[in-house]
Structure 1
Amino acid sequence: MATNLYLVRHAHSTYSIDELNRPLSERGLADAQRVISLLLHENINTLISSPYKRAIQTIQGLAVPLNLDIVIEGDFKERMLSGEPVSNFDMAIKRVWEDFSFAWAGGESSLFAQNRGFRALCKVLKQYEGCNVVIGTHGNIMVLIMNALDQRYDYSFWKQLDMPDIYKLSFDEDHLIGVQRIWSRR
C-alpha cells in the first residue's frame, strides 16, 4: 500500500518580521479554503505542520471535518536564509541554491536545511506508512526535500511555485514512485 504525502506550501501571508506568528493575508485565507476543498476527499489520515502560523492556518480547515489534530513538526519550518534581513532576496536565495554548502551569516545552507527536512520526511514515512498525510510547510524547504529525492526539483522549480501549492508525493516504503501537482492557480 502506497504512502501519500501531500506537501502544502502555505498560502499568501501578511509580511512581518515575526516568522513564527506571521498570519495568512485575506487572499491567503481564501486560498486556504480552496486547499481544504481539494484535500477534503483524499482520505487523509494525518495532519502535520511546520510550527509557523501561516503553515498551520493553510491546513487547519481540515482538522474539524476529518476529526484530526495537527501534529507540529519543527523540522518542516522554512529554511533560515540569513540571521539578518538581506538587501537583495533574489540574489541571496539564488546563491544558496547555486552552492548547497554556502550559508549566509546566521542562516542555513541548502544542504543543512535539506538534511533537516529530509530527516523529518523519512520519519513521517516510517511512522505513517500506508497513510495519506498532509504536511503544511514552506516553499524553499519543500523543494529542498523534493530535490533530495529527485534533483530536477531545483531553484527554477522553486521559482515557479504558487502560494499556496500542493504536491502529492507517493511512496512504496521509502521509494518515491510518483509526484503529482494537486494545486494550480494558473
Structure 2
Amino acid sequence: MRHCSAEGQHKDSPLTTVGMRQAHLLSNFFNDQNISIHRIISSPYLRAIESIKPYAQLINTEVEVDERLKERILSEDPIDDWLEVLEQSFTDLDFTLPGGESANDAMHRVSQVIDSIYDNENVANVIIVSHGNLLSLLLKQYNPDFGFANWKELRNPDVFLVNMDDEKTHSVECVWR
C-alpha cells in the first residue's frame, strides 16, 4: 500500500486533512475485504504509519515499523531534473548518484522484508505500507514490466494485491478504486 496524501516529503510530514479522510476510507476498504490480516508492517515515516493507523486500531493490531520500507533516496543533494533521474533509474537498475540508492539496492532491501514474511508459515496476509518509488520497485520484482510510467500513475493512497503461493508463483493487481 502507498501512503495517503501528506503535507510534504520529509520523514515527519503528517497527512493532510484529505489524507486523514483517505486513511479512514482505507480502513473501511480493508475491513470490507473480510480478510484476516496477520501483520501490518510500515515504513518509519509518519505519513505511512498514519495512513494505516485507523485500520490497525480497528482490528487491534500493532503497526510494526521496519526501516527497510523507508522511501528510496535518489541523492543526498538536491536534484533539479529529479524526474529524469528517476526515469533513468528504472531503466538502469544499477544507476546511482552520490549518497543515493540504486534501484537494485532498494529492491534488495525491500526483498528482505518480503522474504522474512514468506519464511513465516504462520503468516498469510500482510499489509505493507511504504512509498511510491519503493512500492514501484517492489512490484517490478513481481511484474518486470512495472516501470517509470506505472510509477507516474500511482495515487495517494494506492493498494496492490500480490498473491504468492508455495512455489512463489505470484500475481499483482491494483485493488484500490
Same-fold call, TM cutoff 0.5: yes
User: What is the identity percentage for the equivalent residue pairs of Structure 1 and Structure 2?
Assistant: 27
Work out the CA distance in 2 between the residues paired with 1:130 and 1:49. Answer: 16
Query: Any residues of structure 2 matched to 1:22-41 within 5 Å, and which?
Result: 22-40=13-31, 41=34
User: Are residues 1:51 and 2:58 paired?
Assistant: no
Scaled by the length of structure 2, what TM-score is found?
Answer: 0.92
Q: Deviation string for 1:107-159 (max 9, x for gaps)?
A: 10111111111121111121265521111111111111111222011111111
User: CA separation of 1:174/1:36 partners in 2, compared to 1, >3 Å: closer, same or farther?
Assistant: farther
RMSD: 1.5
Give secondary structure in 2 for the equivalent of 1:179: strand
Bigger relative CO (Cα 8 Å, ≥ 6 apart) = 1
Stretch deviating more after TM superposition (119-128 or 109-118): 119-128
Scaled by the length of structure 1, what TM-score is found?
Answer: 0.88
Q: Which has the higher strand share?
A: 1
Query: Amino acid of the residue matched to residue 47 of structure 1?
Result: I
Contact 2:14–2:50 (CA<8 Å) still a contact in 1? yes
Unaligned runs of 5+ in 1: 1-7
User: Aligned residues, how many?
Assistant: 175
Give secondary structure in 2 for the equivalent of 1:175: coil
Hey, which bits of structure 1, 4+ residues long, moved more than 6 A? Answer: none
Stretch deviating more after TM superposition (37-46 or 78-87): 37-46
User: CA separation of 1:49/1:123 partners in 2, compared to 1, >3 Å: closer, same or farther?
Assistant: same
Q: Deviation string for 1:60-90 (max 9, x for gaps)?
A: 1112221111111111111111102211221
Among 127, 147, 172, which residue is 1:179 paired with? 172
User: CA separation of 1:64/1:174 partners in 2, compared to 1, >3 Å: closer, same or farther?
Assistant: farther
